[in-house]
Amino acid sequence: MKTLRLILGDQLSTDISSLQDIDKHSDIVLMAEVREEATYVKHHKKKIAFLFSAMRHFAKQLNSDGINVLYIDYEHPENQGSLFEQIKYFCQSENVARIVVTKPGEYRLLDDMQQWQARLNIDVELREDNRFLSTPEDFALWAKGRKQLRMEYFYREMRQRWHILMDGKDPVGGKWNYDAANRQSLPDNITIPSPTRFDPDALTKNVITLVETHFSDHFGSLQDFHFAVTRKQALTVLAAFIDERLAQFGDYQDAMANNKPWLFHSHISFYLNCGLLTPKEVINKAQEAYDNHQAPLNAVEGFIRQVLGWREYVRGLYWYKMPEYKTQNYLNATRSLPDFFWDTNTKMQCLKQCLSDTYNNAYAHHIQRLMVIGNFALLAGLAPDEVNNWYLLVYADAYEWVELPNVTGMILFADGGVLASKPYAASGNYIHKMSDYCQHCHYNVKEKNGSQACPFNYLYWDFLIRNQDKLGRNPRLGMPYKTLTKMTADKQRLIQEDAEAFFTKLHNHEEV
């Protein structure tokens, strides 16, 4: 009697819980390029190419380790189109006594898997995902009885628990958070290291051809595919970040620049989220760089906070609040996504640049996602379900467990303040301060009203006016609302008229 071990496309780790205690002589590992998972939202072409290639390389690695892998590629004649139907098809032809799978990162899929045992009449063992540094149960225990679920306090406890950047019971350097030191704009003459690149091998080239054939109507470009697709390559990306960019990552992690999508960021979220890297090894490498005086504390702490803090926190929050979290819409936002989210045709240079980076690379760094694209989605009142689907499909590191809390909670404030203490809303001045986008824009960031005014300027105040009943008493918005009360009625009317004219153009599919 065989044990079937299912490996999902984002579980590409030899240490994954579903592979522990495997019997190489009798057990079979099943991996499948499933149509349902590739198309339930129209994922970016590069995202599909990256995952399919990484899956094929991982299967090849398992085979070389003596593990029997049944790999069902997208064009395989026995591809059943969904995970359940693939499992069912295999079990009908083989003498399977047990199915072992690590829990998926999406509520939808876990809910389906929990029905498999009854539907198949076979024992199905769902194991915890051991690649994270906290479990959903850990988070639920931490959250119990708290009025506010702020990441900062979760992060501090994670630092203490794993003894990361600690001096006994105190944080190294005397402070937990050095974010205030990490907000410098990019100097004109700074040298930015190139991202680590890999030429596609024959296997990857075959995948790219497959994606061109079967997913031609999906968002994004397949040109210049250079991602890591093996663990060895992913480790090379990590090492290059530590050696070449970590030291300046802290200073410039919030900076943005035209035609410079990669900057000093790590570019490892693809590999962390699909299993080619693990958070503990990434954190250890960063701490070693600090211990060896290779990178300053503000850079190392800022990076570790993203991995040990945000990444673990949003996963915990996702499982703690699902499934209700997916339907949250505190600000009653209903406007559809503008056309330029798909075709990048807009006169707003900041959005054009960030959306073009996304289209070309299936990547944009966190400030582009939050303070340009996300800021616009918030100010324009875009519908949370549409925004969530967009973020899920366009980024190669996006899975619902990480995407949904960041979009619903941090970007759209659609959860009413569960994740963030205030909406991350900003006028054009923030974008001007942190980038050179405004220098190349059709609009004038210094103009507040009128046809040449930066739309972020009047949309920011219109957002506050529209949502004053829900946001007016937020203590962290006290200053802008105080400024709003000082504006004349005529000034507020001009703001609302400019916003309405802008929204009318969106509705009429005019270029803005």
Q: Per residue in 236-251, pLDDT tens? A: 999 999 999 999 999 9
DSSP states along 419-450: S-SS-----HHHHHHH-SGGGG-SSBTT--SS
Give the pLDDT of residue 219: 97
Task: Tell me if 2-127 shares its fold with 340-507.
Answer: no
Confidence bin at 39 (pLDDT 50/70/90): confident
Q: Distances in Å between the alpha carbon of 19 and those of 53, 55, 86, 99, 458? A: 20, 15, 19, 11, 54
Q: By three-state DSSP, how is residue 404 classified? A: helix
Spatial separation of the C-alpha atoms in residues 358 and 209, rounded to whole Å: 21
The DSSP letter of residue 369 is I
Instruction: Quote the pLDDT of residue 455.
Output: 98
d(Cα 162, Cα 398) in Å, to the nearest integer? Answer: 26
On the question of pLDDT at 491 being above 80, the answer is yes
Written as six digits, the tokens of 478 are 């006290």
Between the alpha carbon of residue 493 and those of residues 17, 191, 450, 471, 488, the distances in Å are 59, 46, 12, 20, 9
Count each helix (H run) and each strand (E run) in the chain, helices first.
25, 7
Q: Give residue 369's pLDDT band: very low, low, confident or very high (50, 70, 90).
A: very high
* Domain 136-184+245-321 fold: 1.25.40
Specify burial of residue 24 (Cβ count, 10 A radius: 0-12, 13-18, 19+): exposed
Across the strands, what pairs with 3?
98
Determine which helix (DSSP H) or strand (DSSP E) holds 213, and give its type and residue range: helix 202-214
Multiple choice CATH, 340-507, 1.25.40.10, 1.10.579.10, 3.30.70.260, 1.20.1340.10: 1.10.579.10
pTM, rounded to two decimals: 0.95
Neighbours of 46 (CB within 10 A): 29
Task: Indicate the pLDDT class of residue 188, thresholds 50, 70 and 90.
Answer: confident
Q: CA 315 to CA 18: how far, in whole Å?
A: 20
Q: What does the angle CA 239 – CA 240 – CA 245 come to, to the nearest 5 degrees?
A: 120
Say if strands 28-32 and 2-6 run parallel, antiparallel, or are unpaired. Answer: parallel
Three-state DSSP at 31 gives strand
Nearest Cα to 427, choosing from 451, 455, 407? 455
For residues 405 and 388, is the Cβ–Cβ distance under 8 A?
no
In this prediction, residue 38 has a pLDDT band, given cuts at 50, 70 and 90, of confident
Q: With a cut of 80, say whether residue 25 has pLDDT above it.
A: yes
Q: How many degrees, rounded to 5, is the angle at CA 356 between CA 464 and CA 455?
A: 25
Q: What is the mean pLDDT of residues 365-382?
A: 97
Q: What is the pLDDT of residues 84-137, one digit of tens each?
A: 999 999 988 888 989 999 999 999 999 999 999 999 999 999 999 999 999 999
- Which tokens belong to 511? 């270029």
Closest CA to 392 of 338, 326, 328: 326
The H-assigned helical ranges of 215-296 are 231-244, 246-252, 269-274, 279-291
- Whether the CB-CB separation of 250 and 181 falls below 8 Å is answered with yes
> Taking the domains of the chain in order of start, what are their residue ranges?
2-127, 136-184+245-321, 340-507
Running DSSP on this structure, what letter comes out for residue 368?
I
Which residue(s) pair with 15 in the sheet?
A: none
**CB atoms inside a 10 Å sphere around CB 142:** 18
- C-beta separation of 158 from 306 below 8 A: no
Measured in whole angstroms, how far is the alpha carbon of residue 92 from the centre of its chain?
A: 38
Is the Cβ–Cβ distance between 411 and 377 less than 8 Å?
yes
Helix axes 231-244, 279-291, angle to 10 degrees: 30
What is the reported pLDDT for 117?
A: 95
Q: How far apart are CA 426 and CA 441, in angstroms?
A: 18
Residue 269: strand, helix, or coil: helix
Distance CA 117, CA 88 (A): 11
3-state SS class at 262 = coil
Determine the topology of domain 2-127 in CATH.
Rossmann fold (3.40.50)
H or E element in which residue 30 lies: strand 28-32
Structure token digits, residue 277: 């890297």
pLDDT band at 489 (very low <50, low <70, confident <90, very high): very high
Interval 281-338: pLDDT, tens: 999 999 999 999 999 999 999 999 999 999 999 999 999 999 999 999 999 999 999 9
18 DSSP assignment? G
Q: So what's the pLDDT on residue 36?
A: 87
The size of the chain, in residues, is 512
**What average pLDDT does the structure give for the chain?**
95
The tally of CA atoms less than 13 A away on the side-chain side of residue 371 is 19
pLDDT in tens, 432-458: 999 999 999 999 999 999 999 999 999
Q: pLDDT exceeding 90 applies to what percent of the chain?
A: 94
Closest C-alpha among 110, 116, 109 to residue 34:
109
Residue 314 token pair:
């949003």
d(CA 307, CA 266): 11
